[in-house]
Amino acid sequence: MNCIIASTSTIYGSTYLEYLKPVLSKHFKNFEEVLFVPYARPSGLTYDEYTAKAKDGLKFLNTTVKGIHQFDNPIKAIENAQSIFVGGGNTFLLVKTLQEFDLMPVLKQKIVSGTPYLGTSAGSNICGLNMQTTNDMPIVMPQSFETLGILPFNINAHYFEPDKNSTHKGETRRTRIKEFQVFNDVNVIGLKEGSWLEVRGETIQLKGELDAVWFEPNKTPQIIKVNTYL
Amino acid sequence: MNCIIASTSTIYGSTYLEYLKPVLSKHFKNFEEVLFVPYARPSGLTYDEYTAKAKDGLKFLNTTVKGIHQFDNPIKAIENAQSIFVGGGNTFLLVKTLQEFDLMPVLKQKIVSGTPYLGTSAGSNICGLNMQTTNDMPIVMPQSFETLGILPFNINAHYFEPDKNSTHKGETRRTRIKEFQVFNDVNVIGLKEGSWLEVRGETIQLKGELDAVWFEPNKTPQIIKVNTYL
């Protein structure tokens, strides 16, 4: 496998995908075309609008960026893709749409066979065993919560630690993930904004500026240092 | 109908249900027993633990508080209840459990017929048309997202406005609710912690200390002042 699985597309004070430029320059090197999957539709953007945004963010690569919706047959579009980018937005919507077009199996097959993959946010969540550690609102109902399972654990994207000064009484991320693990025997990585997982062959490495948090059922969460292999 | 539909059970710097004591003293007056529904299991609490917490929070009423799990037949428990309290926690888990025991129809019937109802957080979310504006993690998969529909709109509990100083790039509540409305023609009220809806007969009134926010599809969100009738 050959994947960049990023917590977010955009970090504070920076433009879309800007912080990932160095790693993406290598990741997509030698590939003439990136297939973009805009199904997660952040803020309800249309597929065309979102694809234009991805195109703009990847301009520095000098490759062609095409939206999967521009192809008559999305299964063939994935089968024939040189490299793939699944953008963020709403994970429920992304998973529902991938299921409706029956794209999960072909996307998994394509990634496992080594096609360069970039996921951000929702596009990273789907790399886990299921989407049940998403932060998103259930704006649509997918057929199931199962996802690609190319990682042997789940992702919590946009992870952040509780603000000790907060007066908000809604659940923290830690509480939510521990609740998830009361009902699901699945490990979870909390990936902070600016961090990503780099998957090369059989290795998975934490990259970026910030530590991550590793949750196992019935155990105290552990800090994972940058550059650790998982 | 005769309902208190609260954003949260607990406000900052205060104990469980404390801020609601004055309104609950009237709401549950003349009722000897409150049926508590602990299915939402905040932080993975057991039904017994959660019921003990509710009992403690309602001690000031001098009524009996019984957990629905203490009854052999939960449908009959609801049918025979003098008054009902559905506690907060995880909305997916609450809805799934209510569906498994086939409790949605009887609970709706009971509330519509005027039985005093208290909902906090997840217990308030289920009063809307569907649970698709919950903030909770999808830790389990319910049969459907449909809920009681005793209100003609949806609730977003624990609502808060974006912090202008935040560096976090995850979606704000406003963005999430607007995304929901791209796909669902349903109005939504953002209820801040410390606010509740008081439903008496056919009237629905915003109560508490804080304004709420009203979202209609394709319109600018509106502030709703305390004491407004909806």
Here the ipTM equals: 0.92
Q: Is A136 one of the catalytic residues?
A: yes
Domain borders along chain A are 2-224
From the list B44, B145, B178, which residue is nearest A179 (CB)? B44
Domain at A2-224: CATH code: 3.40.50.880
Would you call A11 and B169 a contact, using CB atoms and an 8 Å cutoff?
yes
Q: What is the pLDDT of residues A89-139, one digit of tens each?
A: 999 999 999 999 999 999 999 999 999 999 999 999 999 999 999 999 999
Q: What is the pLDDT of residues B109-145, one digit of tens each?
A: 999 999 999 999 999 999 999 999 999 999 999 999 9
* A contacts of B92 (beta carbons < 8 Å): 138
Q: What is the pLDDT of residues B167-218, one digit of tens each?
A: 776 778 999 999 999 999 999 999 999 999 999 999 999 999 999 999 999 9
Amino acid at A119: G
Task: Give the gap in angstroms from C-alpha A27 to the nearest C-alpha of chain B.
Answer: 24
Nearest Cα residue to A22 out of A204, A209, A155, A160: A209
- Between chain A and chain B, the number of residue pairs with CB atoms below 8 A apart is 115
* B contacts of A41 (beta carbons < 8 Å): 179, 182
Which residues does B11 contact at the CB level (< 8 Å), separation at least 6?
A169, B18, B19, B193, B194
The model's pTM is 0.95
Ramachandran assignment for B79, one of left (phi > 0), alpha (psi -120 to 50 degrees), beta (any other): alpha
* A contacts of B172 (beta carbons < 8 Å): none
**Catalytic residue positions of B, numbered:** 121, 136, 158
A96 touches chain B (CB under 8 A): no
